[in-house]
Amino acid sequence: MTVKELERHIRDVPDFPKKGILFKDITPLLADGQAFRATIGHLSDRAGARRPDVIVAIESRGFIFGSAVATALGIGFVPVRKPGKLPRRSRRVTYALEYGTDSLEMHEDAVPPGARVLIVDDLLATGGTAGAAAELVLQGGAEVVGCAFVIELAFLGGRARLSPLAVDALIAYD
């Protein structure tokens, strides 16, 4: 299944989570076994070219794609979570949102210094969440070799915010 064909499995939901937002719903893609497998295949092919040692994925939908890509590549998976969800000593990064701030955490020992890390999430919007995940990785002395997304909302400028990191998205909406 081509990337173009995968777009048919993304459903638009108007006015969610609030009026004026057009939400890109990935649940039809996840529910179709062939589409989900093709998505993981495309992400894994692109990710493998970056030669990561570990996949870092962002809560919660990023876990779906990140763990599958890590499995396909035979490498480790590290979750980045909302505050208070990890049981051991963690690093925290707070980042700006359109309407305030949020924070992400990762175990301090989750990624060894010098490791090559690919950050995976379902959606790139403004880049704040992926940027915070990258900061967590860099704080531990690892290298971010890029970021991979299923969907990019290009009109929100997240790619530019993540510069100079390499950014790859399967489906982009301008």
| pLDDT per position as a tens digit, 106-120 | 999 999 999 999 999
Q: How confident is the model at residue 165 (pLDDT cuts 50, 70, 90)?
A: very high
What is the residue-wise DSSP string for 50-89?
Answer: T--SEEEEETTHHHHHHHHHHHHHT-EEEEEB-TT--SS-
- Residue 103 pLDDT greater than 80, yes or no: yes
Instruction: Give 158's contacts (C-beta < 8 A, 6+ positions apart).
Output: 124, 125, 126, 127, 128, 130, 152, 167
Amino acid at 91: R
Q: How confident is the model at residue 93 (pLDDT cuts 50, 70, 90)?
A: very high
88 has catalytic annotation: no
Delimit the domains of the chain by residue range.
51-173
Q: What are phi and psi of 147, to 5 degrees?
A: -130, 140
Amino acid at 41: G
Q: What is residue 61's predicted lDDT score, i.e. its pLDDT?
A: 96
Are the C-beta atoms of residues 53 and 106 closer than 8 Å to each other?
A: no
Q: What is residue 96's predicted lDDT score, i.e. its pLDDT?
A: 86
CATH class in words for 51-173: alpha beta
Q: Minimal CA–CA distance to 147: which of 159, 139, 157?
A: 159
Residue 117 tokens read as 């890390």
Q: What is the mean pLDDT of residues 125-152?
A: 97
Q: How confident is the model at residue 99 (pLDDT cuts 50, 70, 90)?
A: confident
Catalytic annotation, pick one of 50, 61, 81, 91: 61
Whose structure tokens read 């707070």?
Answer: 94
92 has catalytic annotation: no
Report CA-CA distances (Å) from 1 to 4, 8, 52. Answer: 8, 11, 25
